[in-house]
Every structure is written in C-alpha cells, then in structure tokens.
Amino acid sequence: MVVLDLDMISMELPEVSFQNIIRWGSASAMMFGGVVPFIPQYADIKRSANADGFSTFVCLTLLVANILRIMFWFGKFYEFPLLFQSIIMILTMIVMMHLCVTVKQKSEIIASKSRTFTADGKKCLKTEECYSSHTTSCCHANTLPGRTFLDFDTRYFWKWTDFASYLQFLIFFVAFLTLMNFLFLESTFYVETVGFLAVFAEACLGVPQFYKNFQNKSTVGMSKKMVGFWTLGDVFKTVYFILRAAPAQFWICGVLQISIDLSIFAQVLYYGGFQGRIMSKSAVS
C-alpha cells in the first residue's frame, strides 16, 4: 500500500504567491511575446498577397541572433525562458520566410531567374525542348558541370527564389557554429564573443526594415502594429533583463533596439505625414 506524504508533496510544489504568479507570467511573456509583433505583419502579407513592404532581412537578423544565443547558452547558462524564446522565434521566422517566398512566387507574372543556395550536380545548356504526355522536360545534347557546393551570387544573398535554399543555409550555419562550439567552448573569449554577436545581431533587428523604408521612401506594406509591438516588447524585455540580472549583453541590446524602433516610428511620421503634405502642395502649385 502506497502512503502519500502530503508534507513532502507540499514541499516539492512551488508556492502559489503573487510574486510567483508575476514571475511565471513574465517568463511566459518572454517566451511567446516575441512572436506577437509578427502576427499583424503575417496577416497583412497574407491578405494583400504582397510582401514588398516587409524586409525579409528582419527574419535573417532574428534567425542569426537566436541561433547564436542558443550556442551562447551552451557556454554560459542563462534562464530557460530566454532559451525557449529563441527556439520559438526561430520557428516563427521560418514560417514568415515560407510565406514571403510563396507570395513572391505566386505574384510573379513572368518567372524570374532561379537563385538557389546550392547547385545541382549539373547545369544544362538549353538547346532544345521535348515534351511528353506526363511531364515537361528539356532534352540536352550537352551539359556543363555545375558547382556542387555554393551556387549563389552575393548580390542575391537571402533573395533566393526557393524556400529550400533558406533551410539549407540555416543547416549550414548551425553545423558551422556547432563545430566552432565543439572546438572552442572552453574559451571564455569565444563564449563572450558569441554572446555579444547574438545580442548585437538582435539589437540590429529594425535596421533592415529602416533601410527598406529609406529605399522605398515609404512605409507602405510595413505593419505599424508590428513596430508598435516591437517597441512595447523591447521595453518590457529590457526591464526584465535588468530586474533578473541577466548578462549585460542582453539589456544593452534592449536599449539599442528601443532606439531603432523609435527611428522607424520617425520614418512613419515623415513619409506618411510631412512628406505627403509637401507632395500635395507641389501638386497644387
């Protein structure tokens, strides 16, 4: 017969108190809050079937930052909610990239030249085409050997035309960092450098979107709600880092992110307000 020791059970269970509820709520917000800003942007792209106003380099920045942060965890442990946040954010960015690639493929009237991360075994010299009842293929009298490792022009980095190329890059990047961790994890300098690069990359989250807006001279297509959630999230995150005594890299990253968020809001005011009035006055004159 099993006798339950209620005293032992009560000692193992965490005490339900207001302080613990706040702590659990904050941890949950840290894990899932980073996804929230991308929900309105995802909905806008899905509804309009247009991803031109959103910079996919935002996804690249977050993917690199969070992969680096996970690698940093192996050398210098930090709170599990921050680790889970990185895993959740990586999955979210992969979903965002899949949507952007799919939308761009569907919106093309004339198919653009294929740009991929890795090459097939051969490249074809297209000399004639032959068609069968089941498939459309090209028959080639000659073929040229293609590159078998990397097949991308640096000008088209992260502008590939197929989703598989993005996954291949991520696998390559993770494998490279795993090897580096295996070789240098005992080095304090290496671990701290990885941590710095992780938070610095994340701090630059808004830079690709800022540059995209600058190039377009417009914020059309960018979700203002997304930037608003970014700002709220970065303020909350920075306060959380300070109160939880996280490594200095984390709260420094938060302060820089808030500054960039405010810069993007300044673009919204300029391109949407002041510039619009200037253009309307010039049109009248």
Q: Give the pLDDT score at 180.
A: 96
Provide the token pair at 16.
């339900």
Q: Give the pLDDT score at 131.
A: 42
AA letter at 74: F
Mean pLDDT of 128-144: 43
CA neighbours closer than 13 Å in the CB half-sphere of residue 160: 22
Residue 163 in contact with residue 102, Cβ under 8 Å? yes
Q: What is the pLDDT of residues 204-240, one digit of tens each?
A: 888 999 999 998 889 888 888 898 988 998 898 888 8
- Name 128's bridge partners: 139
- DSSP class per residue in 144-158: EEPPSS----GGGTT
Query: Which residue, among 277, 261, 279, 267, has the nearest Cα to 58 in the 3D structure?
Result: 261
Mean pLDDT of 53-63: 93
Greater model confidence, 115 or 220: 220
What are the sequence ranges of the domains in the chain?
29-104+161-284, 119-157
Q: Is 268 a residue whose pLDDT tops 50?
A: yes
Provide the token pair at 89.
């954010």
Helix axes 188-203, 248-269, angle to 10 degrees: 20
Q: Give the pLDDT score at 60.
A: 95
CA angle 274/276/278 to nearest 5° reads: 70
- Give 149: exposed, middle or buried? Use CB within 10 Å, 0-12, 13-18, 19+: exposed
Residue 181 in contact with residue 148, Cβ under 8 Å? no
Q: Give the pLDDT score at 236.
A: 86
The residue behind tokens 């991360």 is 117
Q: Give the pLDDT score at 233.
A: 85
CA neighbours closer than 13 Å in the CB half-sphere of residue 112: 13
Q: Is 118 a residue whose pLDDT tops 80?
A: no
